[in-house]
Amino acid sequence: MAELPDWLPKWDLLSGPRYLVLADAITISVGNGVLRPGDKLPAQRDLARLLQVNVSTITRGYGEVMRRGLASASAGGGTRIIARQQEDAPRSLASVKFGGLVDLSHNFPPTAPCTGAVEAHADLTRVSGLEIRRLLSTQVDVGLPQHRAAGAEWLTRLGLPCSGTDVIVTSGGQHGLLLCIGALSRPGDTIMTEELCFYGLRSAAAMLGRPLTGVRMDREGLVPDYLDAVCSRTGAKLLFCSPTLHNPTGAVMPLQRRIDILRVCEHHGVTIVEDDVYRYLLDDAPPAFAALAPERTIYVTSVSKIIGPAWRIGYLCAPPSMRNQLGVALRASTLMSCSISAEIVSRFIQEGVVEAAEREVRKETMARQALVAKVFSPSEAARHPSGFHVWLKLGPHWTQDAFVSAAEARGIAVAPGSLFEAGLLVDNHSVRLCVNAAQSQSVLLRCLRELKSLVHERPATKLIA
């Protein structure tokens, strides 16, 4: 057989209806950038001859790709890949209609219940006691020594023993991810991550021109064999992952899986960026990659999910060899993080405010997840009993967009699953809910019941063929 196109490796080894194998191979290749908008697919007769199948199989396969919105055909022009329909980021909150809408699509609406922990435990009037002159006049990109030390104290308590010199103060977790992309890769470099990932990573990678490639996941997170295959195929050297309470699925990677993933990373010389913003929600979280392999891991976290996102304070813990690059990236993005915020958060860490808030958020989250368990069975929703999110599966009768609109018409905002796709996924019929976003447990329960009945209804319009 003549050589197969790049986007169709292992044709003989793939099982299933041939036209679907073809359509899936094209979909995956559009998702990971091997096929780009404008690329022309081979003439149907040529491909049929090459693959030793009927032309009608190719016609059906191309038809399926067009149905998925990834290609178009023109008379005389053949079949070409068109720009991906996938959005790079969630819609701006500027377009959200407030008033009556319960917004479960983001973690923190304006009056989130869990941020009350700060009011209960901190005396914010002491802010006036800050040494404001000193804070206003000193600029160090990686953060002031006392703020780095407070960050290290917190990370050490979470199971990552480190000192202030290991730590860089960032303007939140999203900023940490952005710095890692900027410092550790160049435009055009492929970055690997879970096939479903936090949409903030997607928008940052898109903005900086780094194609994301999704690695297959199972219930335990990244699958080592697939990671190995993606490393071999792409030569990528940077892996972003959230092994502890993965957003959006809630998966927690057990220790043995972490060891297996590390082995693959060592073999291919891959650096890991570990996004661990949800670790504090678990009492018994397995050790972080950054604890198991500190020399190849940058640890990213923030206090946003504990005391609120508005502080805009997070921490990176990085090996010495990478600190300079990260400091340069930090300078290039914000010069430094806000020292006044960092000072207040340092006090919250040292005076036990953060620890008390952790306990409170954990308790509230578990109570809310118990409500989810009452309404949705494990086969209807992927989630962790201590996690922030619910990955709600829709039947194939719903498109994500139709479901999101129908839910919104009932006063509930949910995030479409496509926002979380690192590359285009075949048959991702899911939406994400944030349990802590409802104003109270009773509002959450009402929304969950409403969504449950909606999942089982038929959409009013737009049935999938």
Ligand X SMILES: Cc1ncc(COP(=O)(O)O)c(C=O)c1O
Q: Which residues bind ligand X (CB under 6 A)?
A: 107, 172-174, 198, 200, 242, 247, 275, 277, 302, 304, 309, 314
Least distance from C-beta 416 to ligand X, angstroms?
16
Q: Which two tokens stand for residue 455?
A: 């999942």
- Residue 254's closest CA among 226, 292, 280, 216? 292
Nearer to ligand X by Cβ, of 268 and 368: the residue is 368
Nearer to ligand X by Cβ, of 304 and 436: the residue is 304
Least distance from C-beta 271 to ligand X, angstroms?
18
Least distance from C-beta 179 to ligand X, angstroms?
12
Least distance from C-beta 178 to ligand X, angstroms?
9
Nearer to ligand X by Cβ, of 308 and 459: the residue is 308
Residues 463/426, Cβ–Cβ less than 8 Å: no
Nearer to ligand X by Cβ, of 24 and 220: the residue is 220
Q: How far is CA 319 from CA 114, 161, 326, in A?
A: 33, 13, 10
Strand ranges in 216-370 using DSSP code E only, listed in sequence order: 217-218, 221-222, 238-241, 271-275, 297-302, 314-317
Least distance from C-beta 453 to ligand X, angstroms?
28
Nearer to ligand X by Cβ, of 210 and 268: the residue is 210
Nearer to ligand X by Cβ, of 61 and 286: the residue is 286
Least distance from C-beta 333 to ligand X, angstroms?
13
Residue 260 is classified by DSSP as H
C-alpha span between 116 and 437 (Å, rounded): 13
Q: What are phi and psi of 102, to 5 degrees?
A: -90, 115
Residues 212/251, Cβ–Cβ less than 8 Å: no
Least distance from C-beta 302 to ligand X, angstroms?
3
Strands 412-413 and 314-317, bridge-based pairing: unpaired
Tell me the residue type at 105.
Answer: S
Nearer to ligand X by Cβ, of 70 and 251: the residue is 251
CA end-to-end span of the chain, whole Å? 35
Least distance from C-beta 279 to ligand X, angstroms?
11
CA dihedral 330, 331, 335, 336 (to 10 degrees): 40
Q: How far is CA 205 from CA 193, 278, 297, 433, in A?
A: 11, 21, 19, 24
Nearer to ligand X by Cβ, of 107 and 234: the residue is 107
CB neighbour class for 6 (10 Å; exposed up to 12, middle 13-18, buried from 19): exposed
Residue 310 half-sphere exposure toward CB, CA atoms < 13 A: 7
Cβ–Cβ contacts within 10 Å for residue 40, how many? 12
